[in-house]
């Protein structure tokens, strides 16, 4: 279950953020799929959590958008994490036309529980 934080400068158009919101769940799921957590293409509530926030007055960033993906560590994910994040970046660019952005993939040792 990836957590995705999208931090952006206030001048990023809402339409661009909506585009990101519509494509990120699928693209992130593709990027982090692995034998331990396969992606069947059928996203359900809680599968990918998205959070958007504009940069605050004290925040500093050299990019218009920073997308931080956190997904549970598995050896199969960690082995090719740079390839995964590079592919995710390319897929986001292709799907949205966004150019001034970065993607950070974090694979912490973690656990997740969700009620019914």
Structural domain includes residue 116: no
CATH number at residue 14: 3.30.429.10
Domain membership of residue 101 (yes or no) is: yes
Residue 79 forms part of a structural domain: yes
pLDDT of residue 112: 73
Domain count, the chain: 1
- Tens of pLDDT along the chain (116 residues) come to 799 999 999 999 999 999 999 999 999 999 999 999 999 999 998 899 999 999 999 999 999 999 999 999 999 999 999 999 999 999 999 999 999 999 999 998 877 777 76
- 8 Å CB contact between 52 and 17: yes
Q: Return the structure tokens found at 80.
A: 């090719």
Q: Report DSSP letters for 12-45, one per residue.
A: S-HHHHHHHHHHHHHHHHHHH-BTTB---S---T
State the Cα–Cα distance between residues 114 and 101, nearest whole angstrom.
31
Which pTM does this prediction carry? 0.92
In a domain, 50, yes or no: yes
- Name the pairing type of β-strands 49-54 and 3-8: parallel
Which pLDDT belongs to residue 116?
A: 67
> Residue 115: inside a domain, yes or no?
no
Residues spanned by the domain of 9: 3-106
In this structure, is residue 100 part of a structural domain?
yes
pLDDT at 113: 76
The answer to the question of residue 112 being in a domain is: no
């Amino acid at each position: 279950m990836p957590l995705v934080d999208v931090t952006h400068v206030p001048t990023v158009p809402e339409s661009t953020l909506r585009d990101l919101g519509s494509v990120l769940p699928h693209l992130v799921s593709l990027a982090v799929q692995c034998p331990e957590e396969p992606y069947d293409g059928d996203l359900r509530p809680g599968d990918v959590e998205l959070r958007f926030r504009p940069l605050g007055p004290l925040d500093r960033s050299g990019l218009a958008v920073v997308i931080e993906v956190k997904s549970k560590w598995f050896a199969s994910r960690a082995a090719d994490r740079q390839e995964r994040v590079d592919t995710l970046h390319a897929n986001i660019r292709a799907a949205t036309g966004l150019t001034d952005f970065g993607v950070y993939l974090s694979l912490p040792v973690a656990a997740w529980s969700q009620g019914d």
